[in-house]
Amino acid sequence: LFVESSQIYNLTAEYIGVTSVILTWSVDNATLNPSTSRVVVVNEAPVKILGETKASITELIPGTMYNFTVYAAVNDSETGASLSLYTKPSPVVDLKAEFVGVTSVILTWVMNDSASDSYMYRIEVVNDAPVENLTFNGTKAEITELIPGTMYNFTVFAVAADNKTEGEGVSIFLYTKPSLVVDLKAEYVGVTSVILTWVMSDSASDSYMYRIEVVNDAPLIPGTMYNFTVFAVAADNKTEGEGNSIGLYTKPSPADDLKAEYVGVTSVILTWVVNDNASDSYMYRIEVVNDAPVENLTFNGTKAEITELIPGTMYNFTVFAVAADNKTEGEGSSIDLYTKPSPVVDLKAEYVGVTSVILTWVMNDNTSDSYTYRIQFVNGTEENLTFSGTKAEITELIPGTMYNFTVFAVAADNKTEGEGNSIDLYTITVSVNSLQCEPVAKQPYLMLKWKCPFGNNSGFRIKISNIHTSGEQLAPPCMVEGFEQTFQITSLNFFSTYNVSIITLSNGSESSPVDKLCHTSISDPPRPSEVPSVKAVSHSSLSVEFSDFDSRNGPLEAYAVMITTEEQGPDSLKSKLNNTYKDFKKKKTAAYVTYVIKTEQAESPSSHSQNGRNIINVGKGNTMYGYENGPLIPLRSYRACVAGFTNITFMADVIEGEDSYVSFSPCSEPVLLPQDPGVIAGVVIGCLLAIFAVVAVGGFIFWRRRRKDKRNPDVSFSPIKSKMIKVENFESYFKKQQADSNCGFAEEYEELKSAGVHQPKFAAELPENRGKNRYNNVLAYDISRVKLSNQSSGAGDYINANYMPGYNSKKAFIAAQGPLPNTIEDFWRMIWEKSIYSIVMLTKCMEQARTKCEQYWPDKQPKSYGDIIVTMVSEVVLPEWTIRDFTIEKSNTPESHMVRQFHFTSWPDHGVPETTDLLINFRHLVHEYNSQNPMDSPTLVHCSAGVGRTGTFIAIDRLIQQMEMENTVDVYGVVYDLRMHRPLMVQTEDQYVFLNQCVMDIIRSQREKKTDLIYQNMTAMAIYENFTPGPAFEKANGYHT
């Protein structure tokens, strides 16, 4: 290249490229003449002159050293300036990261320049930190000491051999890999989830994301092994660090449906369900918790038996499913269970009673203090009771019944029970109650009656004995409680006392015996074979001598001498007992009764008895009852027969044969009376009349003395049983009897003295019972006495009280003495056992400074009399009487009932009330109340002895009802009947007259007012019931019309 040029200097490269350079220079025109410049290139290349001082050389080889000389032509000489240069290497190509590490990268590139072998390479590393340059001599470079997870710009420059001429840089942006996460662990492992934590210490970690690789696809499955790898991802979201891995099992699911398949005394069998897919690989840990240290047991199935437990103890069992790694456990499922208590041992009956048993047993478990016990007892139906100790009383059982008792120990949870231990027991059967024995009329039998006892029985054993004999019989069982059972005992003796003992039987067990003294009936006396001895005494009289009849069928009460003019058989004589001498005289009969003699009758002018022989003078003209002992007819033949009576009944003063117990001796041979001598006849008749007059006067004097001395043992007439009088005829009867200072009533009362006195009273006379009698002469007759129950012997059932007949019932009343201190308990026991709802008390406790009756009732506070508890609930005090209401109950029984006491306070001892209306009013008050009580409930009446005032009250009640229902009255018969049941009933003549006065006042009141005998005593009731009667109710002799 030649240029017009001056001196050349300051030759530089304005631009160096890969295949070209641009040179510039300066020319010193002052020294040089302009001339043409020339550029010389050692390696030839096109040159282009761009001006006087600038030239472009192209088509150079990259990275090659060139020497450029610029010459200037001066006057045919050349002056030149030279410059050596390297062209820039070409940019590297295919720059990439062969490796990206945490703190290093390996870059590779390609360089195709022909001079590349001489190249060096500068790598410029740019981060937020200052630029760092690194030099490498190949096309691969490892840059180290980088920051993990950081973005770097790497620029690679090819450097020519002059170590300074660089080609254009080629850049690549790279993130170093994040560091490996450290301390990778599971913060939480669940059934279907885990929580992982790790640590990343890189400075760039704030920009990181993390990728977790789960080997075993999510979602997670319980109890399954998973490998979790955590990768840190740089901010470019693609550069990841090395992964850190952890292998984990998810927890198994909790066991489901955990329950006890079996609970035993020292073991339990648990079952459960686990539905996890991996459950086949599971093991199960059971944690057993008690007060003792925790115990762990391992099982490989879903059923486990845990043994060696303590009986009756609460355990907490927790079941954990364990994964296949034998350490990853699911949540525990728990169940609280009590082991069963041990069975009770030594179960036995400490006591077996009628309606209860006491069981005892032993329990040896350590935890037995917390036990309760269930007792199951079975008799057709099942019942259960719970007790807290090892002794239990089971009550309200059925007597005579087999029960199966099973005792179960129950743990503290009140539901876990041990095995039961059983015992079979029979309750003791109940003794019969209300045992009664009744004689069978005219039969050597006893009819026993009792109420079927509560409970079961297999029959009854009946023992009957007296001093002569003993025997035993069986009665069939009964089924209906309270139903009356009857049993007839035969082949006994008439008129005998037997001790009857009845025992209830049930399956080999026996009740305590119930004893009763029973009396067989009397009957017709045995027919004697002896013929009476008959002798003519005069032309109009005979003497009849006969022996006493055999008394084995009952004591002979009376004899009747019969006279007949014809041959008579014994059977025909019975129908002729009501024939009298008048009938014979009128020729209505050929046989008649001429004389009746009571066995206790003293000798009279017409009869006497000696050494069992009786002599009766027939034809003496005296009268006995309705029979006249009239004179016989001379020159007539007479036969004599004797009738013996164990029971004689009169009607209208003549013997009622059908109702009497009688047998007849054979009739004697006929005896002919002599002729009446004419002369002697008048004398005889005169003498007879004189004798008769003497006898009559003597008899009258004798009778008057007897009336003054009522206790004269020499004279005792047995009364007839009835003197029934029409109401309309009573006033005339009353006036007749009232005449001569009540002479007629005195005679009647005297006749009643012997009524019932021969009734036996063995029980009252027993030594152990004498202290139970207030008065020695008022003893309860055996035949009607009230017997207390539940006693071990016949004597132990005694109380001085008798059943008394009323108008409608044989046991309408109980007449009793006022209780003694030692008989108050018996008194209340009688009230309870006989279901008494009303008491009539006719005495004060103290009269004339003497104790007549103990106060047997409480005042304000309840009081126990034996096992009877009595509470007074009200008391109304009135001028003439006081009314008290009590509740009574028996210990250990739920039953109770009301009892009302009517206390009449205006009746003097051995006397009578001031007026009849007081007692009549009082009786009506009692009667009205009793009409509300059960029909079979007797009214208890007592005074001090239980005979005088008591008998008067009972008699008034009967007489009023008799007048109302029959329009007749029989004071005599009523008193007679009462005295046959209890001695001395209506004790004084004044009381007997008072009875008749009551009847008379009632009849007069009704006649004057023209009202019915059935009245309503409203005033008497109003006093107690707080009712004020209207003016229409007026009083007249105790009746209100």
**Which fold does the domain 433-465+486-519 belong to in CATH?**
Immunoglobulin-like (2.60.40)
- Whose CA is closest to 586, among 618, 628, 620? 628
The closest alpha carbon to 463, from 192, 794, 765, belongs to 794
pLDDT at residue 76, rounded to an integer: 65
How does pLDDT run across 483-514, given as a tens digit for each residue?
889 999 988 998 889 999 999 998 878 888 99
**Total-model pTM:** 0.47
Annotation marks residue 943 as catalytic = yes
| Backbone phi, psi, residue 521, to 5° | -75, 160
Instruction: Tell me how far apart the alpha carbons of residues 1034 and 1041 are, in angstroms, rounded to a whole number.
Output: 6
Domain map (residue ranges) of the chain = 3-86, 93-175, 182-249, 256-338, 345-426, 433-465+486-519, 533-676, 752-1035
Name which CATH class applies to 752-1035.
alpha beta
Handedness of CA 603, 607, 609, 612 (dihedral sign): negative
Q: Which of 437, 518, 667, 943 is labelled catalytic?
A: 943
**Residue 874 has what pLDDT?**
92
Confidence band, pLDDT 50/70/90 cuts, at residue 697:
very low
Half-sphere exposure in the Cβ direction for 3 (13 Å, CA):
27
Token pair for 778:
């008022």
As a whole number of angstroms, the distance between CA 758 and CA 781 comes to 9
- Bridge partners, 815 (sequence order): 802, 941
DSSP-assigned beta bridge partners for residue 472: 463
CA–centroid distance for 450 within its chain: 30
pLDDT at 845 over 90: yes
What's the CATH superfamily of 256-338?
Answer: Immunoglobulins (2.60.40.10)
pLDDT confidence of 101, banded at 50, 70, 90? very high
What is the residue-averaged pLDDT of the chain? 86
608 phi and psi angles, rounded to 5 deg: -155, 160
Give tens-digit pLDDT for 439-465: 988 889 999 999 999 888 989 999 999
Q: What percent of the chain has pLDDT over 70?
A: 87
Arch. (CATH architecture) of 345-426 = Sandwich (2.60)
Q: Is the pLDDT of residue 985 over 80?
A: yes
pLDDT band per the 50, 70, 90 thresholds, residue 663: very high
* 677: confidence class by pLDDT, cuts 50, 70, 90: low
Report residue 555 as tokens: 């004591």
What is the CATH code of the structural domain delimited by 182-249?
2.60.40.10
Assess contact for 439 and 519: CB atoms under 8 A. Answer: yes
Confidence at residue 213, expressed as pLDDT on a 0 to 100 scale: 92
From the list 475, 481, 463, 474, the residue with the least C-alpha distance to 399 is 481
Nearest 5°: phi and psi at 564? -140, 150
Q: How confident is the model at residue 35 (pLDDT cuts 50, 70, 90)?
A: very low
Of the listed ranges 280-294, 703-717, 957-971, 985-999, the one predicted with least confidence: 703-717
Q: Inform me whether the pLDDT recorded for 381 exceeds 80.
A: yes
Q: Tell me the C-alpha distance between 857 and 885, whole Å.
A: 10
Instruction: Report the alpha-carbon distance of residue 334 to residue 327 in Å, rounded.
Output: 19
Alpha carbons 228 and 210: distance in angstroms, whole number: 12
Q: Which of 290-304, 372-386, 1005-1019 has the highest mean pLDDT?
A: 372-386
**Topology annotation, domain 93-175:** Immunoglobulin-like (2.60.40)
The Cα 259–Cα 269 span in angstroms is 9
How far CA 742 is from CA of 677, 922, 990, in Å, comes to: 47, 26, 10
Model confidence over 578-606: pLDDT tens digits? 999 999 999 899 999 999 998 865 344 45
**Is-same-fold flag (182-249; 752-1035)?**
no
pLDDT band at 895; cut points 50, 70, 90: confident
Helix (H, G, I), strand (E, B) or coil at 416: coil
Distance CA 832, CA 834 (A): 6
What CATH class is the domain 3-86?
mainly beta
Closest CA to 871 of 845, 897, 902, 853: 897
Top-level CATH class of 533-676? mainly beta
d(CA 954, CA 345): 64
* pLDDT value at 679 more than 90: no
